[in-house]
Structure 1
Amino acid sequence: MPRASLDKDPHEVAAMFDGVASGYDRANSFMTFGFDRRWRTTTARVLDAKRGEKVLDLAAGTGVSTVEYARGGAWCLAADFSVGMLRAGLHRKVPMVAADALHLPFADGSFDAVTISLALRNFVDTKAALVEIARVVKPGGRLVICEVSTPTFAPIRFFYRRFVLKLLTWVGSRSSTNPEAYSYLAESMLAWPDQRALGEIVASAGWTEVEWLNLTFGVVAIHRAKKPSLNSAV
C-alpha cells in the first residue's frame, strides 16, 4: 500500500480503489457525514453543464458524480483508472471508459469542460495531469475541481490536522473491507496543498482565471479555471 508522503505507483493506487469499489460510495458518505452529496450538488452548480456540451468527469469512480452533472442535459462521460470502480457503477446510465489521467485517450479539444471530484490528489503527477486535461478541453473551456483543502478557521484547522487522520482511519475500518486504503486516503488529505497552493499549480499548468470557493469551512474547496481561448493575447 503506497503512503501519501511517497511517490504514488499508479497501478497500486488503481488496485487500492479496485479493492474498495463495491462499498466505496457508501463508505464515502459515512466518512463525510453525508456532506459528499452537498459537495457534489455545489460542484454541479459551479460546472453549470448545459445541454449540447460534452463533459469529462475524470476519476469519476462509480459515476455517482457523472449522473449529477448530466442532469442538465449535457453529455457526460465517466472516466477512471480503476476498472473495478467503473464496474461497480455499471448500473448507472452514463457512458464510462477506463482512462489514465496522464495519457487521456481523447483527441485535442474533445470536451467543453472537465471535472475532478475528490481524486486529483491521487494522481501521480498533479501538474502533468492538469496539462494533459487542458489538451482535451476546447479553447475557452473550463476546469472544475472539487478537492479536500485547508480549513480557514484556526480552531477547525487545528482539529482537522490533529484528529482527522485517526478519525477517518477509525471510520474507514468500520465501513470498508479495506481499512488500509482509508488510512492512505486520510494521509493524502493531510499532505495536500492548501487553496492558494493548488490554485498556483493549476495556473502553472496553463489554465487562466483561477479561482476557488470554500465549502464546509474550507475542509473542501472547489477550484474553477478556464483554458485560454484562441484569440487570447499572448
Structure 2
Amino acid sequence: MPRANLDKDPHEVAAMFDGVARGYDRANSVMTFGFDRRWRTTTARVLDARPGEKVLDLAAGTGVSTAEYARGGAWCLAADFSLGMLRSGRHRGVPMVAADALHLPFADDSFDAVTVSLGIRNFVDTRAALLEIARVVRPGGRLVVCEVSTPPFAPIRFVYRKFLLRLMTLFGRFSSTNPEAYSYLAESMLAWPDQRSFAETIASAGWESVEWLNLTFGVVAIHRAIKPPLDSKA
C-alpha cells in the first residue's frame, strides 16, 4: 500500500480492507484503547435514528456501527466497497450492500440520514462523496460523520501526533492480520484536515447547519449537517 495521501487508489484501499477484515474489529478496539465503542455510542446519540427512518451507514465495514444505530428501531443499511469487510460482518444480521461512495446505487432522496464512522478519510474524493451523499438524502435529512481529527490543545496535539498515534499503530499492527495496513491508517490520520477545514468542505458540498463535537480531547470529532429543505431553495 502506498503512503497515505488525498489521491488514494480506491482499488488498493478496498484490497487493503479486504486484507484486514478478519480481525479488523478486534484490532480497531485495541488500537483505540477501547474508545471506539464510546465513539459509536455518542455517534448513535447524535444520529438519533428513529423508528420508521431509513439510514445509510456508509463505509460500514463489518456493520458493527450499523447494528448500533439500528437499536433505536430505524431501518439501517450497511454499505462498503470492501466485500471482505461485509462478509466478515454477515453474522450481525443487518442488511448489507457493496457500494462505492462516489457512485451510490440508490435513487435520489432515498434516506433520512447518512452516517460515516472512521471511514470518510479513505474516500478518493471527499467533496465528491459529500455531494453524492446529499443526492441520496431527502431534503431536510441529515449527515453525521465520526472521524479522526486534530486536538485543539497544543500539548495534547503534540503528544497525540508524536507518541500516542505511534503507540496506537503499534498495537494495531500486532493485533491485525495485515500489519502493513496500519502504517497506511496512521498516515491517513495525520493527513486528514482539522475540524474547521472539514466543516468547510461539508458546507462547500451544499450542506447547511454544519457543526461539530470533539470527543476524547479532539482526537475524534463528530460533524453533523442538514440537507437544505426544498422551501429553502425557493
What TM-score do you get using the length of structure 2 for normalisation? 0.98
Whether the 8 Å CA contact 2:6–2:124 is kept in 1: the answer is no
Ranges in structure 1 where 5+ consecutive residues have no aligned partner? none
More deviation in 177-186 or 130-139?
177-186
Whether the 8 Å CA contact 1:56–1:114 is kept in 2: the answer is yes
Deviation at 1:165, TM superposition (A): 4.2
**Aligned counterpart, 1:130:** 130
Alignment partners' CA distance in 2, 1:178 and 1:27 = 10
Alignment partners' CA distance in 1, 2:94 and 2:112 = 17
Runs (4 or more) in structure 1 with deviation over 4 Å come to none
**Aligned counterpart, 1:220:** 220
**Amino acid in the other structure paired with 1:107:** A
Alignment partners' CA distance in 1, 2:94 and 2:18 = 19
Once the two structures are superposed, the pairs formed by residues 12-91 of structure 1 within 5 Å of their partners are 12-91=12-91
Deviation at 1:180, TM superposition (A): 1.0
Alignment partners' CA distance in 1, 2:204 and 2:111 = 21
Alignment partners' CA distance in 2, 1:170 and 1:147 = 20
Alignment partners' CA distance in 2, 1:39 and 1:80 = 20
Whether the 8 Å CA contact 2:43–2:146 is kept in 1: the answer is yes
Secondary structure of the residue that 2:232 maps to in structure 1? coil
Change (3 A) 1:85 1:209: same
More deviation in 170-179 or 128-137?
170-179
Alignment partners' CA distance in 2, 1:102 and 1:126 = 9
Alignment partners' CA distance in 1, 2:87 and 2:233 = 44
Deviation at 1:233, TM superposition (A): 4.6
More deviation in 148-157 or 213-222?
148-157
**Amino acid in the other structure paired with 2:96:** M
Alignment partners' CA distance in 2, 1:193 and 1:228 = 24
Report the aligned-residue RMSD.
1.0
Instruction: Give CA deviations for 1:150-206 in whole Å, capped at 9, x if unaligned.
Output: 012211100112124422331122101211111100000011000000000000001
Once the two structures are superposed, the pairs formed by residues 151-166 of structure 1 within 5 Å of their partners are 151-166=151-166
**Aligned counterpart, 1:229:** 229
Deviation at 1:6, TM superposition (A): 5.5
Alignment partners' CA distance in 1, 2:35 and 2:197 = 24
Alignment partners' CA distance in 1, 2:233 and 2:64 = 39
What TM-score do you get using the length of structure 1 for normalisation? 0.98
Secondary structure of the residue that 2:230 maps to in structure 1? coil
Secondary structure of the residue that 2:90 maps to in structure 1? coil
Whether the 8 Å CA contact 1:53–1:75 is kept in 2: the answer is yes
**Aligned counterpart, 2:113:** 113
Secondary structure of the residue that 1:108 maps to in structure 2? coil
**Amino acid in the other structure paired with 1:12:** E
Alignment partners' CA distance in 2, 1:10 and 1:164 = 28
1:11 and 2:41 aligned: no
Alignment partners' CA distance in 2, 1:166 and 1:46 = 30
Secondary structure of the residue that 2:62 maps to in structure 1? coil
Change (3 A) 1:177 1:37: same
Deviation at 1:104, TM superposition (A): 0.1
Deviation at 1:117, TM superposition (A): 0.1
Change (3 A) 1:26 1:220: same
